[in-house]
Structure 1
Amino acid sequence: MTTPYRRRGEGECEMDAWLDANATTLVVVLAAASAALLLLAVVLLALWRHSRRAARRAVRERAAAQRERLDLELQLAEQGSRLTMVRELHEIAVHSVSVIATQAEGAQYAASQDPSAATRSAAAIAAAARETLADLRRVMTVARGGEVDADEQPGLANVQELFRVMRDAGLGVDFTETGSSHELRHGAELAVYRILQEALSNSLDHGGPGTTATVAFTWTDDGLKVLVEDDGTRAAAIRNGLDPYAEAQKQGYTVDDDLAALTQAPNGRGMTEMRERTELFGGVFEAHPVPGVGFTVQAVFPSLRYHNGVHGVPLDRR
């Protein structure tokens, strides 16, 4: 017996269509949820790997910092040992120089009384001087960590070579010299050279390529004035495509600003070193920025020709 065919009603057709539509929506929702979960898993994995790398990097940085700290402590200990040795050798050298001075005074007196005694004193002085020189060379070796030849230290004869090096690095250098130059002791020449070297290096570092430094040596009968003026501020404005005059006007510079620039004392290792080198030979050091232009360094040595590098103890004129 066959089942009679029954036509589907409109309600059943609508139900089927609704089920089909919702099934499609459910599939889309499930697919989107799966994609979101996959993306979340990828993000979490990336974050985990990043945190692992950061943790490893932090460990390496801590280890490197620890090694650097240990190296610095070792260097500090070595420097402390060197300073102790330098102080001890220096005390010996000072005592030896005192002995030489005493012997020289005795030889001067003996020369007028007994020429043979003066000869013996001169031999003793020469021997003491050689011993003192050996001690001083040991001081230099300990302080520098190796053998040092004093003849290799630069002086005024090397100034033109210094200018050439600075020009090759991008700093324009104009040099003028007035007055009659006179011979200086090597320590004084080295002080002048180092001051000039530091001033020109600062001009290049702060002004950048295109900066011009004007160097002037002014000699007097007993002294020397070293003047270094650069246009680093103006050069930086030109390098950036700006009008230097307009930029200076924008800053609203006044007379008070100029006075403040002239009276302030720039700090820093280089400035301190230049000031100490100048004062060591009885000089006066001054440095200040020039608003809208650049920077000026000046070292004036009133008695550099007869100064031995010790305050208040000038050498006799010859």
Structure 2
Amino acid sequence: MPDLPFIALLRRRIRTLPPQWVDVALTALVMVVQLWPFVGRDNPHDVPWHWWGYVVVVVAVTPLAWRRRMPVPVLIFTLLATSLYDLAENLPSQPIWYGGLVAMYTVAMRSSRWARLSMIVLATCGGMLLVGSSDTALRGIVLFVAAYAIGRAAAVSRAYAAALEERAARLEHERQVEAERAAERERARIAHDMHDILAHAVSLMVVQAEAGPVVVRSDPARAEAAFDAIAAAGRDAMLQLRRMLGVLKEGEGPRAPQPTIGDLPTLAGQVTGTGLDVAYSTSGEPRPLPPDVEVAAYRITQEALTNIVKHAGASRADIRLRWDDDALTIDVTDDGPGSGRSLPSGGNGLIGIQERATACGGTATAGRRADGPGFQVSVRLPLPATAA
């Protein structure tokens, strides 16, 4: 049966109160209930009820205010006090000693296993020895066992709730840690992309800017083409940077897609404008790739071309894509003298190529060509099982 709204509200309010206030209120309530027989029942004698009864009730109930701090001593003190109630005559009968039940409930909920078992044995055995009527003794034993069972159920329920809260807190912490790691990975990816974009654009612009003054008088058309190439490289870099940084803004409109393998011919054409003859070719049957592999293939090729423009001193470069059954192989070669670097001891560009390939589950190698002068970067990116 679901709780009534008033009862549910009352429970929430009680849980927000300080524990000591709740214990004091509970002690006062039990005190009123235990003293009620002194005012709510008719006295068969002409004299008032004996003062001893008031003393025993007050002494037996008052320790409940400290039941959370000292559950076992409070229970023992309460049981001893209530056992002295019948020492005087002319006292109203007490059908139930609620203080002992509350103390037993607290012991069952908060004490250790041996303390709990010792107290339940003490309460039941003491009830059988001190109470004259067997019916009264049996009723007391049943009540104490019930209070013990309710206390254990409450303890198990609280432990379960605490375990759930701890698990929820742990999962939330793990979620935050994973979110922070994802943010770090995203920042690293953005840093790599910015490095590739800026290094490629600046390299093209520097090469064209150096060539422009040389041919500005002898070949004005070529000089004009050089300046056009500088402007085009700058515009392309700005477009890619704006596209990349747009993902960091909330509420941004539709965003342009990241570059893919389909943009490699355009990239080859941009580099050709620097005076480097770039050839692009493919073999095999192309197939769809995951977005991260598409971007990685483009950035790897872009970085390899940037290294050629900056360091190789080459006149020709070749981009070859080979589609196999289980992998895509990208070879970027040149015919320049270069600097002789190889993975992984090269510059940041070569290291970035290797990191991108590894992130996609592939491999990357770089070094001198075996079939002639020049440098070669070879990357193998595995194809997904569905595509294969």
Task: Pick the TM interval, shorter chain.
Answer: 0.3 to 0.5
- So what's the TM-score if we normalise by structure 1? 0.41
Bigger radius of gyration, 1 or 2?
2
